[in-house]
């Protein structure tokens, strides 16, 4: 029986690198991977997923109104679905992924942020916390040396910013 996994962590915790290594491991065993990224994530182009380590791969871009089950049925079968930056998916799209787990018996691994720099939950992440079978924190270290538990947005003077748009592509 397939499961839905949500692997979350602060920025710089190797989420994308782990997603790409997972893709490699499945493909090395001859399995077909459907690698997805939300169209919101345009920092490396529409179809490229790239980690800070330099790993990269082509992915299918999922628009805000893309029906994931219908897109999957057009693409053909896959042994696993891996989603990077899953926090940018809508709750409805998370439910569509859940449908693929339950009806098609496909494991789905979602990698992303849990909250933004204001500690506000992303809607896609909130839904994943409700429906994922396994939830795992990918730990990383803060610049202060302690465990990073949230994302911070810092201005040019080193001050923490607590207002602004939820999404800032290419942040550090």
Catalytic residues: 85
Is 77 in contact with 53 (CB distance < 8 Å)?
Answer: no
As beta bridge partners, residue 62 has: 38
Could you write out the DSSP letters of every residue in 59-72? Answer: -EEE-TT--HHHHH
Q: β-pairing, 56-58 with 134-137?
A: unpaired
Task: Quote the CA–CA distance of 11 and 151 in Å, as a whole number.
Answer: 6
């Amino acid at each position: 029986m397939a499961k839905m996994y949500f692997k979350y962590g602060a920025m710089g915790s190797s989420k994308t690198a782990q997603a790409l290594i997972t893709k490699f491991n499945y493909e090395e065993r001859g399995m077909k991977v459907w690698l997805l990224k939300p169209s919101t994530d345009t920092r490396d182009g529409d179809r490229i997923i790239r980690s800070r380590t330099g790993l990269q791969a082509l992915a299918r871009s999922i628009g805000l109104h893309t029906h994931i089950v219908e897109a999957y049925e057009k693409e053909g079968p896959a042994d696993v679905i891996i989603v990077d930056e899953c926090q940018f998916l809508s709750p409805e799209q998370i439910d569509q992924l859940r449908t693929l787990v339950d009806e098609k018996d496909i494991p789905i691994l979602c990698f992303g942020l849990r909250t933004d720099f204001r500690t506000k939950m992303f809607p896609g992440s909130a839904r994943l916390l409700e429906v994922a079978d396994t939830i795992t924190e990918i730990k990383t270290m803060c610049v202060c040396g302690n465990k990073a538990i949230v994302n911070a947005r810092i201005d040019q003077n080193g001050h923490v910013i607590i207002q602004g748009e939820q999404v800032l592509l290419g942040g550090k």
